[in-house]
Amino acid sequence: MSAQSASRKSGSSLAALSSRPWIWSWTAAALAFSATLWLTSGRGAGELAYAALSFGAFAAIVGLGQMLVITLGPGNIDLSVPATMTLAATLALRAMGTEPGTAFYGLAIALATGLGVGMANYALIFLLRLPPIIATLAASLIYQSIAIWSNRGLRIKPPEGLADFSTGRFLHIPNVAWIALGLAILLWILLERMTWGRWLLATGQNLRAARLAGVPVEAVRAATYITVALFASLAGFLLASFSGGAALNMGAEYLLMSIAVVVIGGCSVAGGDSNVPGVWGAALFMFLVVSMLNSYGTGAGVRLVLTGSIIIAIVIAASTRRSKQ
């Protein structure tokens, strides 16, 4: 092979790689990681990577769920994610009562909560014909109120064994990251290899055409809203176990986070498109950029402004690249 042919082949490979929507979030995460290490003179690389995987896992879980809803098309979004996380964690930890050996019981309570929330959200959307934004926002007030009534303002702690598992590691990787990675792989298989994934993408691309083609549109929408609630419930359960208890504001930061990682991850807000690897890369980036700004010693207000500006820049760059294609 001539040098010219090798050069053309290398160039085409780079072009193909850059055309992947997920490459932008992973590139941004790598740059944020490098910048943080540069500010700390290369110290603490392992600790930073471990922290990014730990905290990024929670953003990845809720982001993957929100990705499914956004894939349904314009107007579809779940604003009840934070309240669902709080309610599931509160009810699960209250049921366990710090008793050893109750982790699976608590997990079942959390997932049952998510199932109920997902069914209730879809019922509001389908039966009452409410826009998803309005339905999930109104429902979130109810879920948050139930959580407040349930724990009476107390911070409920997890059983010791569950807390140890949530903060532990396997092969130097956080356990919560393994769980998030497993969910991402299962979701990728579902979207790329299963009929339901094709139905979801078809529904998001053209709802009317999908219905005429025989796609069970309402069943797909119901399953999607139930799935995002299950993911939020699992994230809430793990986060409460990881952080030492369920608090009423524990899910607050994950409302915009769940949307941001979907957009930064390369998914189309117009629907009909999903990007599992991109969501994971965006989740890592969101943590790393805050760590980078903390290393600069910036205040909270400046961090928010700079974080928002960086997000906008990445979205514009990715959107420009897609439009050229």
Nearest to 210 by CA among 68, 72, 66, 65: 72
User: What's the pLDDT score for residue 220?
Assistant: 94
CA distance 64 to 242: 20
Q: Are 98 and 159 in contact (CB under 8 A)?
A: yes
Q: Integer distance in angstroms from the first to the last C-alpha of the chain? A: 29
User: What's the pLDDT score for residue 255?
Assistant: 87
325 pLDDT higher than 60: no
Under DSSP, the state recorded for 173 is: E
User: What's the pLDDT score for residue 14?
Assistant: 47
Portion of the chain with pLDDT greater than 90, in percent: 49
- Measured CA to CA in angstroms, residue 47 lies from 37, 51, 58, 270 at distances of 11, 6, 18, 38
In this structure, what token pair is assigned to residue 318? 């990715």
User: What's the pLDDT score for residue 8?
Assistant: 52
Q: What is the mean pLDDT of the chain?
A: 85
Q: Helices in 19-80 by DSSP H: which ranges?
A: 22-39, 45-71
Q: Residue 216 region, left (φ>0) first, then alpha (ψ -120 to 50), else beta? A: beta
Under DSSP, the state recorded for 272 is: S
- The more confident residue out of 82 and 307 is 82
Element (H, E) at 127: helix 103-127
User: What's the pLDDT score for residue 18?
Assistant: 52
> Given pLDDT bands bounded at 50, 70 and 90, which one contains residue 19?
low
> What does the pLDDT average to over 1-18?
50
In this predicted model, what pLDDT tens digit does every residue of 230-280 receive, in sequence order?
999 999 999 999 988 888 888 888 988 888 889 888 887 777 788 899 999
221 pLDDT higher than 90: yes
Nearest to 160 by CA among 108, 100, 90: 100
Domains and CATH numbers, the chain: 22-324 (1.10.3470)
User: What's the pLDDT score for residue 231?
Assistant: 97
In this predicted model, what pLDDT tens digit does every residue of 38-58 receive, in sequence order?
877 777 788 888 999 999 999
> What does the pLDDT average to over 160-169?
92
Phi, psi of 169 (to 5 degrees): -145, 160
